[in-house]
Structure 1
């Protein structure tokens, strides 16, 4: 919820607290203020200008020379490229030396040979998001009202000297999804009174009931439905004060009638909908469940097929709105509309959520219906909207309100005792303190000694039991004021388990190698669920997912890491190295808790080394990623038990992927993402790995043992072997190690060759073998004997021949 500080001040006096102080107080009472935005804080020298003349630039086919009065005597010349600039307009002018959105400084200069003394600004250039700018000004400058004073501060006129607080609301605090709800909360915190809007309607000679009737087929879906009729409205742009309030709340202005309904949505938290009465095609409103296969074209011009689980508003025959979610295009308010039918209703939250979810339409209205609205504000919000429409659109509000009601509002009464409050909170509050807090909350109560019988207002439907009231008292008393106690008994020092220590080593090694740790969602889509899995499992689906993209518990960490690579690539960050440690979830059967296993995964792309000064660059490849893993295995003291085998894994490149085995058991893989899979994720040349971290870290390792530096020299022998090209170097190395015995201390590959120097279907693999006895100097005969044994084993087991 975005809350304008200045707008809030019209309901409760906040003049004695700054926006920052208010945000701190609200956060300390349980509603987190995620941030404060001050759009105009860095801007200056932005005034209202009057375009006196506007002619085409002599040296351009799209620029204009404008003479603009900015209230400083002589007009100034400003060059403007906006397609909608014209003489006679009041516009936003950034003078030379001004700073606009993005901290851009405006200077006097020449454009195509003509002097320009500043800039005529659009709202986007002042930092306002394009999605909330009125459509008629989306591609040009913003035109101010004719009564705007030339030379005055344009930022103040646009309410950009305001601060906007962003509240992060939990589902139980739906009361604060309105300005009046936030005002009640603020008043309770500051100990102030709430000033509600005054509603005044002029009497009319006609009755709304002569124009419309209301019938509800399913009262359980719409226990309260009201309709008002407003004649002789003149559709046009809203006044500036209304447009700026909507834009500050993240809503795009449309016209004076639609903007009023959105204003009331924000002010009261009550969704409204305005129908063009003359386009309804009848004098009847019928609220019913949709027929199976019935269709409606909604305001976003999308045709939607309905089911019997969806609630619709009809003209007696065809749907004109998807109830609580979005109106229909066939009854939309247009510039020709003259008579308005205004809907204000209380709908069942489950029905609205079902329709919103099925059609992917999560609107400001549906979100409020889903979380809960105040049933006692349904009529009042409608009356307030009618008064505003009459004021700014010149409408005549017909007498009366046509209502269909079966709503039975049971009053909620909760009784608490001071002693119980103190016992629950660990405090020593007096009766006067409890009474003061209830008064600040504006909860009516009767006091009987230490007991309070509290009538809960309908706006706070989340309070139903004693514990709810205890929480309210704790919030307003101040969590910081609740006494702190330490548990009795001896205290013991904490420590890390061996597994936790090893996990920290993993993070340190990978961070030291240049990878950044990422944290991604544990939920994925059905499409990505089976990608890169180490262990097959049936999908574990959420009963009520927030979206299809996050509906299934993941089996691999790589899909979301690849999404992170794509996100970075789209923002011109081409060199990405990320890793993550997190849980994957393996099904144990229906209605059984899934098994969680911790995995380690990483992705790398772009340059691994980039030293422009030295002219050194190293592009990420298979061996870079494999080398990082080998450093990790060596640190964990399992490198001697690790080996790699060529592998075919779905989603991985078949020629650049290897399975990783620990003690001859598969623990993961490393390799390049397959080009087809890269297209799906919109990435290129990404190398990745994923390991079963639990299996890796739970492997027992011998205590670290040190050996004396050898006093005797080693002997090295190089061999180049001709083998079938499918034979892996790892397999040859294993044969050499087994045959070399105790004297063979090290085996390294230093060359692989395929070409015209070896016969077709063969390759040359060269090794360096190092022999050493720590107790004595080896003789050539001893080394030769072992070396020949190695060559014999290679020939017998791998068909290897020495390259001549």
Structure 2
């Protein structure tokens, strides 16, 4: 809601308080003011000028040479390109030295050889939004009425010497969707009176009922419909002050009749609609539900097909408006309109919302009906509009109105005790103080034996229970004035569980390794649900899925991570490493809740190392990912329990995939995505892993630090000849087991399967490091331990030293 500071002064005395100060007070009382805009900020030197002469520029077809009186000693010559500039007009002129929005400074210039001493301005050039400029001035300069005085400040004549407060309203505060609603709020905050608009139209002898009758067939959707008739209307531009107020509120001016209905919309919060009476085609208004497939052409010239869910205003035969949303083109007020039928009605919010949503029409009117209008302002708004139509459209208001009225509404009566107010707010307020707050809000309040009974005006439909009254007391008393107290009672110390701590270690380790965290959907398609799953079960379908792509719960994290890589690769971000910690969902059969397990998964593609200066590029491979997993289990202290074993898995490369085991039990896998899958996703070589986080974190060991060895170590390299089917991991585990406490490190550094090896054999080279943290090892101790290793290799794996 945009609130004009100058307009607000019509209803509340704001003397002694600036717009910024008012914004602060409103925000502190519970309605956030998101900003205050000074409409003339950064603009100076703009005056009203009178175009004395206009002729074609001698050297340009689309420029005009104008002689303009700006109230100075002599007229000035200005070159103007506006198509609608002409002799005799009163226009806005930015004089030499003026500043326009965007810090645009006006200087003397020559345009195609002719001097130009200033600039004749359009409204857009003076800071108006293009969408808020009246259509006749959208493509050219603005022309003032003849009555304005030359040399005066043009911005003041345009009523731009104003500030606009932007209110960020919550849905319950629909009362503040009007200037009067804001006035009540401001008056309560400042402790001042509200001055309501006064005046009554001079009614003609003829009666409105003689011209129109109203029938509300859908009384539940439209319990009150008021129609007034105004004759001999002259359609013309509305006064500048009204156009300025509408523009400040974010509404584009049209003509005096339409502008008055919009003015009342903002002033009272009550939407109105003006029909051209002569175009109605009948003398009756019938409000009913639309017929299925019935059509209407709305004011935006769009043909819309209706259904029985929509409420329409008809002339007894065909629709002339979509109730509460938009009028029909067949009864639009235009320049030749002389008789206006004015509608003011109360429509059911949910019905208006349905029509607005179905047709994609979100209007100022529909927004207010949806959130709720004050039923007691429906008649007052119609009468106020009639006054303005008489005043600014020279209309003749017919006596009375035609109505359909089944509305029965009473103010809400809500009770709350003074004791409860003080208990909730932590205050010691007296009943007089509470009554004073409600009086400032113009709520009728009566206190009896500590119980306060409040009659809530219908404009505040958000107040229905005692707690709502407590909130009103709190915000008007001042949230800043509520006392601060510390909690009383015993407290418990918070902290992370062991599982949470370990999960945080997993996250930190992966991010330290260069992987970015991704958060993907738990829902996937039936085709992808079982891909890459650690444990395959029947996918769990949703009862009402949004789409086939999000119809079942996932069994694996990897498919979604591959989608992340695909999305980024398509946008030229083709070197990426991501991980996710999330849940997979395993079915336990029909009518049983699924089993939810937490997994950790990663996906890496592109270059792992890229140093252009050194000319070093290294694409990701299996061992990069294996190193990441090894670093992870090392941080968790379970590296001695982890084993990698070659395996095959659907969707992964058969020769570059390994199963990950903890204490001999499978807990996950790592491997390269199968080339066919990579091709489908348009990815380069991509490697993935997925591990059961519950298995990893079931028995983590605390982090142990070891002192840097003071004594030297001894390294022994061995080349073993073993059968080709024997894995290096198997040999490595034998070496570790046989090496005892002196063997600290074992690593593979060479593999040979060339022609010099006998058939079915291979040569694997290991590097073994021995040391004792307490002393320097002797050759005898190392030889003894090394001999046990060689004997164990031959005995358990048939592996012997290569001769």
Q: TM-score scaled by structure 2?
A: 0.74
Q: Is the 8 A contact 1:41 1:161 kept in 2?
A: no
Which range moved further: 455-464 or 217-226?
455-464
Q: Compute the RMSD of aligned alpha carbons.
A: 6.0
Structure 1 CA distance, aligned partners of 2:591 and 2:362? 31
1:310-361 deviation line (CA, Å, top 9, x unaligned): 1111110111111111212222222222221111111112222222222222
Q: CA deviation at 1:11?
A: 0.9
Q: Is the 8 A contact 1:562 1:603 kept in 2?
A: no
2:209 is the alignment partner of 1:209: yes
Q: Is the 8 A contact 2:561 2:603 kept in 1?
A: no
Q: CA deviation at 1:73?
A: 3.4
2:708 is the alignment partner of 1:702: no
Structure 1 CA distance, aligned partners of 2:603 and 2:58? 55
Larger radius of gyration: 2
What is the aligned partner in structure 2 of residue 229 from structure 1?
Answer: 229
Structure 1 CA distance, aligned partners of 2:560 and 2:259? 42
Structure 1 CA distance, aligned partners of 2:632 and 2:256? 67
Provide the secondary structure at the position in 2 that maps to 1:428: coil
1:273-332 deviation line (CA, Å, top 9, x unaligned): 111211111111001111122122222222222222211111101111111112122222
What is the aligned partner in structure 2 of residue 466 from structure 1?
Answer: 466
What is the aligned partner in structure 2 of residue 760 from structure 1?
Answer: none
Which range moved further: 74-83 or 693-702?
693-702
Q: CA deviation at 1:394?
A: 2.2
What is the aligned partner in structure 1 of residue 351 from structure 2?
Answer: 351
1:436-477 deviation line (CA, Å, top 9, x unaligned): 112101112345464444322111122233332222222212
2:382 is the alignment partner of 1:379: no
What is the aligned partner in structure 2 of residue 454 from structure 1?
Answer: 454
Q: Is the 8 A contact 1:134 1:252 kept in 2?
A: yes
- CA distance 1:493–1:708, shift in 2 (3 Å): closer
What is the aligned partner in structure 2 of residue 129 from structure 1?
Answer: 129
Structure 1 CA distance, aligned partners of 2:658 and 2:119? 62
Q: Is the 8 A contact 2:133 2:253 kept in 1?
A: yes
Which range moved further: 577-586 or 191-200?
577-586
Unmatched 5+ stretches in structure 1 = 724-730, 751-766, 794-804
1:380-427 deviation line (CA, Å, top 9, x unaligned): 101111221222222222111111101112343234443443344332
Structure 2 CA distance, aligned partners of 1:433 and 1:513? 63
What is the aligned partner in structure 2 of residue 96 from structure 1?
Answer: 97
Q: Is the 8 A contact 1:422 1:428 kept in 2?
A: yes
What is the aligned partner in structure 1 of residue 253 from structure 2?
Answer: 253
Structure 2 CA distance, aligned partners of 1:45 and 1:579? 60
- CA distance 1:229–1:426, shift in 2 (3 Å): same
Task: Report matched runs for 1:334-349 at 5 Å.
Answer: 334-349=334-349
Structure 1 CA distance, aligned partners of 2:398 and 2:600? 68
What is the aligned partner in structure 1 of residue 8 from structure 2?
Answer: 8
Task: Report matched runs for 1:672-691 at 5 Å.
Answer: none
Provide the secondary structure at the position in 2 that maps to 1:41: coil
Q: Is the 8 A contact 2:431 2:447 kept in 1?
A: no
Q: Is the 8 A contact 2:49 2:150 kept in 1?
A: yes
Q: Is the 8 A contact 1:55 1:66 kept in 2?
A: yes
1:197-244 deviation line (CA, Å, top 9, x unaligned): 113312213221111110011211111011011122222332222222
Which range moved further: 156-165 or 576-585?
576-585
What is the aligned partner in structure 2 of residue 263 from structure 1?
Answer: 263
What is the aligned partner in structure 2 of residue 487 from structure 1?
Answer: 487
What is the aligned partner in structure 1 of residue 755 from structure 2?
Answer: none
2:159 is the alignment partner of 1:155: no
Structure 2 CA distance, aligned partners of 1:732 and 1:410? 86
What is the aligned partner in structure 1 of residue 439 from structure 2?
Answer: 439
Task: Report matched runs for 1:402-413 at 5 Å.
Answer: 402-413=402-413
- CA distance 1:18–1:531, shift in 2 (3 Å): farther
What is the aligned partner in structure 2 of residue 187 from structure 1?
Answer: 187
Structure 2 CA distance, aligned partners of 1:675 and 1:119? 63
Structure 1 CA distance, aligned partners of 2:610 and 2:219? 69
Structure 2 CA distance, aligned partners of 1:469 and 1:349? 24
Provide the secondary structure at the position in 2 that maps to 1:270: coil
Task: Report matched runs for 1:744-759 at 5 Å.
Answer: none
Q: Is the 8 A contact 1:516 1:578 kept in 2?
A: yes
Q: CA deviation at 1:2?
A: 1.8
Q: Is the 8 A contact 1:49 1:93 kept in 2?
A: no
Structure 2 CA distance, aligned partners of 1:429 and 1:401? 48
Structure 2 CA distance, aligned partners of 1:195 and 1:361? 35
Which range moved further: 597-606 or 472-481?
597-606
Q: Is the 8 A contact 1:51 1:91 kept in 2?
A: no
Structure 2 CA distance, aligned partners of 1:388 and 1:130? 27
Q: Is the 8 A contact 2:231 2:397 kept in 1?
A: yes
Task: Report matched runs for 1:523-672 at 5 Å.
Answer: 538-539=541-542, 633=632, 637=636
What is the aligned partner in structure 2 of residue 242 from structure 1?
Answer: 242
Structure 2 CA distance, aligned partners of 1:235 and 1:581? 67
Structure 1 CA distance, aligned partners of 2:389 and 2:627? 67
Q: TM-score scaled by structure 1?
A: 0.74
What is the aligned partner in structure 1 of residue 370 from structure 2?
Answer: 370
Q: CA deviation at 1:597?
A: 8.8
Q: Is the 8 A contact 2:91 2:120 kept in 1?
A: no
- CA distance 1:582–1:79, shift in 2 (3 Å): farther
Which range moved further: 138-147 or 365-374?
138-147
Unmatched 5+ stretches in structure 2 = 751-763
- CA distance 1:279–1:670, shift in 2 (3 Å): farther
- CA distance 1:696–1:448, shift in 2 (3 Å): same
Structure 2 CA distance, aligned partners of 1:269 and 1:172? 14
Structure 1 CA distance, aligned partners of 2:185 and 2:242? 24
Structure 1 CA distance, aligned partners of 2:594 and 2:464? 35
What is the aligned partner in structure 2 of residue 333 from structure 1?
Answer: 333
- CA distance 1:553–1:248, shift in 2 (3 Å): farther
Structure 2 CA distance, aligned partners of 1:645 and 1:384? 83
Provide the secondary structure at the position in 1 that maps to 2:36: strand
2:30 is the alignment partner of 1:30: yes
Q: CA deviation at 1:366?
A: 1.5
Task: Report matched runs for 1:786-797 at 5 Å.
Answer: none
2:303 is the alignment partner of 1:303: yes
Provide the secondary structure at the position in 2 that maps to 1:266: helix
1:232-276 deviation line (CA, Å, top 9, x unaligned): 222233222222222222222222222221111111111111112
Provide the secondary structure at the position in 2 that maps to 1:414: strand
1:691-736 deviation line (CA, Å, top 9, x unaligned): 9997699565332233555744768999xxxx9xxxxxxx999799
Structure 2 CA distance, aligned partners of 1:619 and 1:93? 64
Structure 1 CA distance, aligned partners of 2:392 and 2:290? 36
Structure 1 CA distance, aligned partners of 2:599 and 2:405? 57
1:618-650 deviation line (CA, Å, top 9, x unaligned): 999999x9899879958965997799999999x
